[in-house]
Every structure is written in structure tokens, then in C-alpha cells.
Amino acid sequence: MKLICRYFLKQHVLQCKRTLIGDILLRSVATCLPPHADEASLYVHWPYCLKRCSYCNFNKYIPRSQNHTVMTECLQKETRTLLQLSQISRISSVFFGGGTPSLAQPSTIAAVLETVSKHAHVADDAEVTLEVNPTPAGKASLRDFTLAGVNRFSIGIQSLNDDHLRTLGRDHNSQHALQTVSEARMLYPGRVSVDVMFALPGQSVKSWESELEKLLPVCDDHVSLYQLTLERGTRLFKQVESGELSVPGDDVTAVMYKSAREALEQAGFLQYEVSNFSKNNAVSQHNVGYWRGQQYIGVGPGAHGRFVPRAVGGDQREARTQTLEPDVWIREVQRQGHGMRRRIQLDHHGL
């Protein structure tokens, strides 16, 4: 949700109030309460990355070494604890995000999914998404992740322009991105999403439009489109502040967003919320769950969740954030079954 550009959300909602998308969006966000008290989606956070991208302020760490066995045990343990605490008996979708969860071992993904299935009902066709970095190093094969239970890939290609990828500090190039998308599409045609960013340093409307022309024929049925947010504390923020780099202004950015929406529409994509587009009805069930105010459980360092802790007599939804730092989180999970940094009770309107 944080990534949704608020400026565009306002503009977009004003603009499409009279359209079908606007109606669906507003109705879903404003009125849909969780359909079933015992149902939720599950978000699992893998906090490690190979390298720090220049724009990123997600909860991620570049470790010297990782203990996959301990991480696996802790993710399983916290999943169990939070399922029991919420008394959720049905998990509608699972999303492995990060960080870079494609650096996790497929056996970790399988173990978490097995724990979920042991404690809740998961439909055979439930959406199970893995975020994948197209980085050539360190990741297991996508096929191994499908054998572990993943049935949807969300690939962080970010850009198909190698200069932009370098500025962003990515450890992949456009060739790696195209290769990963094509590999994923062979495994799960129709269930592959790509993340793309615009309003990048040095990007013009013309170069953005030619990037879209390259992207649309090769992408699958789902696109997440994010306007670059300059996050305080990141290297990119400092580079822009010092004048070393410059990003397009608001007017140019608005034109970029508009031209992307038009290009996607022409390519058969339906915009189902501010940043997400799908064709052939490949809407992300997990994403739609957030917009509809469904309960979700967040497992792993820094994960967010919103659910009612029924096992301890709760009757109100809580917003929970797990402990951020992986080593501290691991110790807390080992000691008490979960690592929790913050919990806030939400009132009726605080979905």
C-alpha cells in the first residue's frame, strides 16, 4: 500500500469516479468488510538481499552468511503461532515478499506452505506468489520453486533500460530480466507479473514510451507499475538532493503515468487499482484482498498483518508489525513463538 503514489491515487480516483474501474475501486475499498472472520491471506517476508538498490527503503539486510535452517524453523514457528492466535482456519492466498525471497531455498518455501496446510485449509488452486529478482547469482531455479508449491511469480524487472538499471543499483540487466520473464512464463503462463518503475533519473517521456513498447510484447498477464518514490535515507535520495541526478517533475511524471495507462489499455490490460493492471482476468487475489479489507497475517521480520486475535478473546482487528531486525526477530520467535514490534487496535473504520 505504501507504494501507491498518493498523488495519483487522488487524481485517479477523482478522474475515474464515473468509470467502471472507479466504481469498483471505490466500492471495494469503502464498503467491503472481511467476508469470513476465519479467513485471511498470508504474507511471508524474506529479509535478505544480495545488494542494496539505491532507491530502496524496504526492510532488507545484506547478510555475510545466512542460516537457512534457523530461518525456516522460525518462519514455520511464527506462522503456527499467528494462525493459532487469529484462529484463522482458511488461508486464501500466500505471498512470499522481501527482500529477495527468490534467494530462499525452495525447501524453506515448501516447509512454510506445509505448516500453513497443517493448521488451516488452503484450497488447491489458492494463489501462491513468489517475488523474484532477475539477478543471475544465488537463486534456485524457478522450477524448484514451483515444485515447492509456488504457482505465481512476481518479477522485479524495474526497467528494460540498462543505464537506468545501473543508476538504480540493480544487480541484473535487461537481458536477465527478459530471460527470467520468459522462463517464468513457460512454467506458469498467465500467472506471471512484472514490477516496473517510472519517473526514474534521466528518464524522458520518449524513452519511457519506447521502454513500454519493448515491455508489452514480452510481459505476461499482470503488470505492477510504480512511480519511483525518493525515500529519505537512500543513496538515490542523496544523489537527487545534491544535484548529482535529477528526476522528472510532477507534470512530466503525470504524462508518463497517463501514457503507460493508455499503452496498457491498448494492449488489453484492465487497470484494477492504481498501480496494478491485468488481462485475461489475471488479477492478483492477494492484492485484491488488501483492497477489500480482508484479514491478513504477516510472518517474518518487519512483516505487517491485520487480524483479530480471537484466541486471546480479541473481537477487534489489530494492525501488527513484526520485529524488523532478523537476528532479534529470530531470538524472539525462538523464545516466545513470534516476534512482535507493535500492535495497534483498529476501530471500525481503520481497516
Using rule CB under 6 A, residue 53 touches ligand SF4? yes
Using rule CB under 6 A, residue 301 touches ligand SF4? no
Would you state the cell numbers that stand for residue 3, as one nine-digit string? 507504494
- For 279-299, b/e burial (b = at least 16 CB within 10 A) is beebbbbbbbbbbbbbbbbbb
* 3-class SS of residue 152: strand
Question: Between residues 233 and 243, which has the closer beta carbon with respect to ligand SAM?
Answer: 233
The number of residues that bind ligand SAM (CB under 6 A) is 17
DSSP letters spanning 83-135: HHHHT--EEEEEEEEES-GGGS-HHHHHHHHHHHHHHSEEEEEEEEEEEE---
Looking at residues 127 to 156 of the shown chain, list those that interact with ligand SAM (rule: CB under 6 A): 131, 133, 156
User: Could you give the count of Cα atoms lying within 13 Å of 218 in the half-sphere of its Cβ?
Assistant: 20
Judged by beta carbon distances under 5 to 8 A according to partner kind, the member of ligand SAM, ligand SF4, none in contact with residue 52 is ligand SF4
Instruction: Kindly tell me which residue out of 40, 74, 94, 98 binds ligand SAM, with binding defined by CB under 6 A.
Output: 98
Judged by beta carbon distances under 5 to 8 A according to partner kind, the member of ligand SF4, ligand SAM, none in contact with residue 341 is none
Find the part of the chain contacting ligand SF4 (CB under 6 A) among 22-30, 96-104, 224-232, 245-253: 96-104
Find the part of the chain contacting ligand SAM (CB under 6 A) among 12-20, 226-234, 248-256, 261-269: 226-234
Instruction: Kindly tell me which residue out of 61, 188, 226, 237 binds ligand SAM, with binding defined by CB under 6 A.
Output: 226
User: Could you give the count of Cα atoms lying within 13 Å of 261 in the half-sphere of its Cβ?
Assistant: 17
Would you state the cell numbers that stand for residue 163, as one nine-digit string? 543505464
What angle is formed at CA 192 by the lines to CA 57 and CA 127, rounded to 5 degrees?
90
3-state secondary structure 254-323: HHHHHHHHHHHHHCCCEEEECCEEECCCCCCHHHHHHHCCCCEEEECCCCEEEECCHHHCCCCCEEEEEC
Using rule CB under 6 A, residue 241 touches ligand SAM? no
Cβ-based neighbours of 19, under 8 Å, separated by 6 or more: none
Looking at residues 283 to 302 of the shown chain, list those that interact with ligand SAM (rule: CB under 6 A): none
Question: Between residues 100 and 294, which has the closer beta carbon with respect to ligand SAM?
Answer: 100
Using rule CB under 6 A, residue 103 touches ligand SAM? no
Q: Are 272 and 24 in contact (CB under 8 A)?
A: yes
Looking at residues 119 to 158 of the shown chain, list those that interact with ligand SF4 (rule: CB under 6 A): 133, 156
Using rule CB under 6 A, residue 211 touches ligand SAM? no
List residues near ligand SF4 by CB under 6 A.
49, 52-53, 56, 58, 60, 98-100, 133, 156
List residues near ligand SAM by CB under 6 A.
3, 55-56, 58, 97-98, 100, 131, 133, 156, 158, 195, 197, 226, 228-229, 231
